[in-house]
């Protein structure tokens, strides 16, 4: 059986027609070698029963899955580093399929590196193997830390030698398939607004409302904006709590469901550094760590602007202004979850947020971002473990005392989680750049995939250890 009974195709975006996407075909690759198949994610949509041969046929040769049409390259515009670009669109990927998971959510299979499309311009439409490996690692780490994210469903090496100006070339090639709640970007709305097509904006509003935000009333564009604002406030707060820097927060890299995707020059903070940037070409720090809330809000204002032809401007502004309060509330909740404690009320929760950030700031390079949350998970119950651990010298002084007081005010949330084996280790799972480069170096120099697969196995164990109350942030 190629797919399981859990497979439920529902290709809804394809019904929108050629105003929103272009029919395309995948490149014909010299080879298809499976390097990663995410059977845990595949099981959610009934694809875990595929044989390796079927997997390669569907995700390397892109034979359509049952009940799915031919793929489409999605059309969109966007602001790139705040400069409007009307020549965007899926240039090296396409929407391959849509299906429902067990809870009824509509999920996409989107590609990266699947070949040229009408929007490729002069690019080759390919993905480097290193880029694919990095996207798998980013998505796995974010899921481990309870951040809403696409999942890397498949990574297949494709046997081409690619020339790139920003890394040693020739380099190996790959095609990636991601499983995501939606690939409809803010820029998807910007395109019909640019062409003054109010009818297409209304079509998109109803499509997105009905499929992704059904609690919004039909035709209520400001209500849809409010839902998108709330989802992206939650996403941004969890990025910050995880010490994550996306790198390129253009309006074509943010979507209507508030799920992070399309990872390029991402990084995780080694330690607290507000101005830390992920992209070498972000010379002015536009998308630096601490500026990410500002960047997302700016992108949301562009999304709101694209709705103005069909909505009341005052109500759109009101919805947009909900971002600040929603972000702060979500940030408090995200830090409490990371520390494994329950809410004690707004004032006490804010005090814990403030003192946690102060401790991270004053700890400098001696206190990495991720270990603080690992050391003090569930609060008082971790005291002996933290104060005997490798960072015991950092845990002293007035700043630490203020943090500890604020933390101990809060009741532990399921302290039995500390019984998991990962909390017996001295260090948590991290995803710092040196480890990422070491994983790639093993692949690049000796074709050794064991560090990559070992890292994924450790992240799987860490997810079980953190045992987030609401799954993986979806």
State phi, psi for 195 to the nearest 5 degrees: -90, 5
User: In this structure, are residues 109 and 11 in contact, taking their beta carbons and an 8 Å threshold?
Assistant: no
Cα–Cα dist 450/447, whole Å: 9
Nearest to 90 by CA among 163, 7, 4, 191: 191
Q: What angle do CA 272, 276, 279 make, to 5 degrees?
A: 150
Cα–Cα dist 407/410, whole Å: 6
Give the chain's residues under pLDDT 70: 1, 470-474
Please give the model's pTM, rounded to 2 decimal places.
Answer: 0.96
Beta pairing class for 95-100 and 8-9: antiparallel
pLDDT for the residue numbered 470: 66
pLDDT for the residue numbered 182: 96
User: Is 10 an active-site residue?
Assistant: no
Give the number of residues written for the chain.
Answer: 474
Q: What angle do CA 242, 246, 106 make, to 5 degrees?
A: 85
Cα–Cα dist 298/252, whole Å: 13
Catalytic residue among 90, 252, 349, 375: 252
Mean pLDDT, rounded, of the chain = 96
């Amino acid at each position: 059986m190629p797919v399981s009974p859990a497979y439920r195709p529902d290709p809804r975006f394809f019904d929108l027609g050629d105003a929103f996407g272009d029919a395309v075909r995948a490149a014909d690759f010299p080879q298809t070698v499976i390097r990663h198949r995410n059977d845990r994610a595949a099981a959610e949509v009934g694809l875990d029963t595929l044989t390796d041969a079927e997997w390669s046929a569907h995700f390397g040769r892109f034979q359509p899955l049952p009940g799915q049409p031919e793929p489409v390259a999605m059309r969109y515009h966007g602001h790139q580093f705040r400069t409007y670009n009307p020549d965007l669109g899926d240039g090296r990927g396409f929407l391959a399929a849509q299906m429902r998971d067990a809870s009824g959510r509509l999920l996409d299979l989107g590609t990266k590196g699947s070949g040229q499309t009408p929007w490729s311009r002069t690019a080759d439409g390919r993905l480097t193997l290193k880029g694919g490996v990095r996207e798998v690692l980013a998505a796995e780490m974010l899921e481990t830390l309870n951040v809403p994210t696409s999942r890397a469903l498949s990574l297949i090496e494709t046997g081409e030698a690619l020339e790139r100006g920003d890394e040693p070339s020739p380099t190996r090639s790959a095609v990636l398939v991601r499983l995501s709640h939606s690939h409809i970007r803010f820029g998807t709305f910007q395109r019909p607004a640019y062409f003054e097509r109010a009818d297409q904006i209304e079509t998109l509003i109803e499509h997105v409302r009905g499929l992704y935000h059904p609690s919004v009333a039909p035709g209520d564009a400001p209500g849809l904006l409010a839902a998108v604002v709330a989802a992206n406030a939650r996403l941004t707060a969890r990025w910050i709590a995880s010490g994550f820097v996306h790198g390129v927060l253009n309006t074509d890299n943010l979507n209507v469901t508030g799920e992070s995707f399309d990872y390029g020059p991402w990084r995780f903070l080694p330690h607290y550094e507000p101005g830390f940037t992920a992209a070498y070409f972000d010379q002015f720090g536009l998308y630096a760590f601490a500026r990410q809330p500002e960047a997302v809000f700016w992108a949301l204002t562009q999304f709101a602007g694209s709705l103005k032809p069909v909505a009341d401007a005052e109500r759109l502004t009101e919805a947009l202004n909900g971002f600040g309060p929603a972000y702060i509330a979500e940030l408090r909740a995200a830090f409490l979850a990371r520390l494994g404690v329950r809410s004690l009320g707004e004032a006490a929760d804010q005090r814990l947020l403030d003192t946690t950030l102060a401790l991270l700031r004053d700890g400098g390079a001696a206190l990495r971002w991720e270990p603080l949350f690992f050391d003090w998970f569930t609060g008082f119950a971790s005291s002996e473990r933290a104060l005997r651990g490798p960072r015991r010298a950092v845990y002293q002084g007035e700043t630490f005392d203020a943090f500890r007081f604020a933390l101990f005010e809060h009741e532990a949330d399921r302290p039995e989680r500390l019984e998991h084996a990962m909390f017996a280790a001295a260090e948590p799972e991290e995803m710092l750049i040196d480890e990422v480069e070491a994983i790639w170096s093993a692949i690049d120099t000796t074709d050794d995939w064991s560090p990559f697969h070992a890292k994924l196995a450790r992240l799987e164990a860490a997810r079980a250890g953190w045992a987030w109350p609401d799954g993986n942030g979806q």
